[in-house]
Amino acid sequence: MAGGGGQLKAERPKRGKVSKRKKMKRVGFYLDMTPLVDITFLLLTFFMFTTTMATPQVMEMSIPPEIEDEVEVKISELFQIFVRNDNKIFYTIGDEDPQEVALKDIKSLAERLNLKDAVKNKLITALKPDTSASYGTVVGILDELNLAEVAITSEISKSIDSTGNPTKRQRRFTIAPISEKETEKIKGL
């Protein structure tokens, strides 16, 4: 490129004029960047509008595998959350009567129940949504329970287990459909 430019200059016939110009002060050169900016802005706006910033994220779930024999659990260590077909949420601890709970209160409720001395690190959380409850509500509850896990884990790890390490949080969680008996129980509430 540079060589080509030099050749062109050499072929110029009128040297006189060139020398006249030389007297003018050269202050550098201006490159008209307008078309460049036009195109760049066009592409920029295109990419800006087509980008989706809210990329989907995931919530990990692990469900117990299919097993034939039933596992026996203490009723006092069972924290059950029911979702009724109208998306109202109820909970029971042990064999107590179900009580209604708001979605935003589940976090504090789960924290409180999990940190009771008697059931610390033993409590089993069972989420039992009605088959006609909405998926959005179920995921909302899962999210609240996940948020509660932060406080629970940090509280539990304060104590030291037999090996001298901080106690590991053992999360026991299951998701199962609601039984007819349980549906009946929360029907009139």
Partner 1 sequence: MPKIKKKRTGFVIDMTPLVDITFLLLTFFMFTAKFKSQAESEQKFSIQRPKVSADTSKVPDKDVAIVKIAVDTVSLDTNYYYELANETDRPQVWEMSKSLTPEQRIKAQIKVNSLDQLSELIKNTRQVRASTKFAIDADKRLTFKWIYNAMDVLRKNNATVFNYVTEKRG
- Contacts with partner 1 by CB under 8 A lie at 30, 33-34, 36-37, 40-41, 43-44, 47-48, 50-52, 54-66, 83, 129-136, 138-140, 142-143, 146-147, 175, 177
Token pair 């034939």 is found at 68
Nearer to partner 1 (CB atom), residue 13 or residue 35: 35
Q: In angstroms, give the least distance from the CB of 168 to partner 1.
A: 19
Q: In angstroms, give the least distance from the CB of 71 to partner 1.
A: 15
Token pair 């595998």 is found at 65
Q: In angstroms, give the least distance from the CB of 20 to partner 1.
A: 19
Reported as type and span, the H/E element at residue 93 is: strand 89-93
| 83 and 89 Cβ atoms separated by less than 8 Å | yes
The Cα-based distances of 147 to 57, 75, 80, 83, 132 in angstroms read 16, 25, 17, 19, 25
Nearer to partner 1 (CB atom), residue 147 or residue 167: 147
Q: In angstroms, give the least distance from the CB of 10 to partner 1.
A: 30
Q: Are strands 124-129 and 99-101 parallel, antiparallel or unpaired?
A: unpaired
